[in-house]
Structure 1
């Protein structure tokens, strides 16, 4: 048995899976945070409380796992002490307060590195004593083991870790005023790094001695759960926000820094980007909605007359960087159903723009495309996105990042010699969606309208907009 734990934005999810990928136990617990303009924080103790609850629920009727791995949101950091205890709130991946530090570091404000600089400036003195940068997953790993553990190179990537040299860039950090000893030790994902201690076993129900395997970010975890691990394949994770991850043999170079490259346990690269659009825009616009009912009503509004840019919060990260970007509607919806249809469609249009940007960079995208994330619970939305993209889409039976961590735990514990083989054995396909050419053609006009508006507002660079227009003529 293998266990995966996913620290998301809105909840913690835990699963126990067998060698064949069958989910034998699952559990979840909600998370809340503080959003105020560009500010987005969560309390680290809430993460641990949710892990305790989700783990106990997952293990209620399931056999004990042999190993586990943990994934978390990418770019979420905090300050901790030498014992791994949190000293500050967790500054979430889409917190925008580190804009000035991002300019100094030459990264997006969503990255962990400028947030680390901001945390030191705001809280470093008040914390007292030696402080260390911690990622969201590091907090949970320290509680599970009873001692701080190394972080993994996937979570460390946006904090400035160099995956090509396998080291922290200390000279660069020195120029940014970041002291030695601030950052944790780093290992490759899939490395066995410790075991569950007795105190954590009593709190979580996970047996003491269970092996702990270094994890990856939630986007990478979802990619493992999708089975998209061959060169040219891509996984699109749609939940609160949208994340695209692919597989290449070498890094995808992006001078704008929009696309970043994780390193897989086998040495291949996992390029991708994280957009600010997603299901969170639906929740914000319709906090008490019945999604299934609105999905049914939205069918009558295809293609949507209103064009939406459904940004969840201020600032965009992919397929362009625009800290000042805000969501908008072009047109006035005549009903809730039409508004809902516009938001669903808008996410698909931005997803299409993301793939056009990847094509501009020369990233191979000839392989299979898989959809994962909470949005796949809506069969209508998945079909709509496939039509907008105009390409077949695979839908796995289980598409949770937590399953991806169970697969990584199996690989890290030695159940298979490669991660690809572990995924091939444990990832099950539900069905394949095939786009309808007529419906795909419907979305050319709204797509071009969105591209034009994003360029007019000064957010989307002209060469990117021009390439997107060319791709509608020669897809």
Structure 2
């Protein structure tokens, strides 16, 4: 497909390295998405609790995603922004060769190493030490793979590995670095205490900048390979902070719900507001002097994908259609605990498991899908209730945000209006493109980070609080048994 481009029209490329795909978009100065493309990724789980990917696969998928965009639009790009899955550990040797597969955000092998980091983490980062964060992963590597640890000269986060290929620079930015457990988030700098606690030092860390600053320039050989000009690359953001930029969530009291592989409630703030006792993440935003609070459930839309396959549906849309047509009263549905890969907020429980409870002979595939949708909504409600302040409404982004049926379940459960916006499914990539524009120009944040047009609004209706109470009590009852599996 070809597009007509005005002589002065500027294009911005956003690349989002997700867990299941690399997504790329090109937007113009008006914020319109002119083209989008994605290339899928797989996850390797060689042992229980493990979750890994090959960084080489990231780059291959990035190339496929970008090269699938229209050639004439690629040639008009004036800046690139990066976003990506957070917390992953990419270990490089002295020649920048990858030493082992990247350990991902939903990997739980480092859980035994978190207790020793916990007091320091609370003191120096304002966050809990969770198995998904990067720092505990390095403690696991130090003990279990000492040769790899000894050879490690640089630790990069996933999107920053793409930056290294694109620009040759080892750079990260504040929002993504916040999730490493090595950042002094209040001061926006590496914490010497946290690095020392994991046997590392600042020389092994990338340079830190803000997400709206220039991190480097695309190397000419890579520009030729991707069919783009030699342009600046912005610092970018972790996927959730980038999603916030794409959704225009930059000011205090603005918030969004992300329904991707994981599920996130994200609220912007103008100050650092730690709340580790509730399992809430307090991180830097992608813009200078701004922060955010975030709750995370590890499996959200991933639960729906899993349940659709489990119950024999050809695809997720078919499963959702069957669920919407089911006439079984909600009170008769099984309860579903959505902890397929453990859980973060509020439980911080790497051993938590997924459970269908209360099935009978009348329970069919459609009922199990409905239970799954409800269980994910309950998990998000747990996160929302853990936050210090409750937002007035939530914009919705992420690939799981396309079902009106699920949208109403979520609105009812969360007790908040949900606003679906244009371009929501590519939110982080959109945000990365906006950060590219901020880095390459002197445009104002207020002019760039506007909220996309509203497409639909779902107001909360009747909600069965008793089922939420039973959901919560089920986790409490089963918690002691999860570690046996």
Q: Same fold per TM (> 0.5)? A: yes
**Secondary structure, aligned partner of 1:6:** strand
Q: 2:271 aligns with which of 228, 250, 260?
A: 250
Q: Spell out, residue by residue over 1:288-324, the C-alpha distance to the aligned partner (whole angstroms, 9 max, x if none).
A: 53322322221334526211112232x2111221121
Supply the distance in 2 between the matched residues of 1:33 and 1:456 (Cα, whole angstroms).
Answer: 31
Superposition deviation, residue 174 in structure 1: 2.1
- The more displaced of 115-124 and 67-76 is 115-124
Are 1:174 and 2:196 counterparts? yes
In structure 2, the CA distance between the partners of 1:345 and 1:224, relative to structure 1 (3 Å rule), is same
Instruction: Tell me which residue corresponds to 1:421.
Output: 447
Residues 57 and 271 (structure 1 numbering): CA distance in 2 closer, same or farther, change over 3 Å?
A: same
Q: Secondary structure at the match of 2:396?
A: strand
Decide whether the 8 Å contact of 1:88 with 1:123 is kept in 2. no
Name the residue aligned to 2:245. 224
- TM-score by length of structure 2 reads 0.87
2:5 maps to: none
Q: Residues 98, 92 of structure 1: CA spacing in aligned structure 2 closer, same or farther, 3 A cutoff? A: same
CA distance in 2, matches of 1:212, 1:250: 27
The CA RMSD over aligned residues, in Å, is 2.0
Partner residue of 1:279? 301
2:31 maps to 21
Residue of structure 2 equivalent to 1:213? 234
Number of aligned positions between the proteins: 446
Matched residue, 1:468: none
Structure 1: runs of 5 or more not aligned:
460-475
Distance 1:248 1:129 in 2: 39
Contact 1:298 1:338 in 2 (8 A): yes
Task: Report how far residue 285 of structure 1 moved.
Answer: 2.8
Write out aligned runs for 1:266-345 (5 A): 266-287=288-309, 289-299=314-324, 300=326, 301=328, 303=330, 305-313=333-341, 315-332=342-359, 334-345=363-374
Of 186, 204, 207, which residue of structure 2 is paired with 1:164?
186
Note the C-alpha offset of 1:3. Answer: 1.0
Counterpart CA distance in 2 for 1:295 and 1:9 is 23
Structure 1 counterpart of 2:7: none
Q: TM-score of the superposition, structure 1-length normalised?
A: 0.89
Which residue is equivalent to 1:88? 100
Gaps of 5+ in 2: 1-10, 119-128, 481-485
* Distance change in 2, residues 1:16/1:306 (3 Å): same
Contact 1:25 1:61 in 2 (8 A): no
1:70 — aligned with what?
82
CA distance in 2, matches of 1:20, 1:417: 13
Whole-angstrom CA distance in 2 between matches of 1:61 and 1:385: 40
Between stretches 245-254 and 30-39, larger displacement belongs to 245-254
Deviation of the 1:89 alpha carbon: 0.8
Matching of residue 433 in structure 1 with residue 458 in structure 2? yes
SS state of the match for residue 181, structure 1?
A: helix
1:186 and 2:208 aligned: yes
2:377 aligns with 348
Equivalent-residue separation in structure 2 for 1:322 and 1:28 (angstroms): 32
CA distance in 2, matches of 1:432, 1:39: 38
- The offset of 1:446, in angstroms, is 1.1
Contact 1:307 1:450 survives alignment (8 Å): yes
Cα distance change, pair 257–139 in 1 and its aligned pair in 2 (3 A): farther
Displacement, 1:158? 2.1
What is residue 471 of structure 1 aligned with on the other side? none
Structure 1 window deviating more from structure 2 (115-124 vs 87-96): it is 115-124
Distance 1:175 1:65, change over 3 A: same
Match of 1:203 among 208, 225, 244: 225
Aligned with 1:49: secondary structure? helix
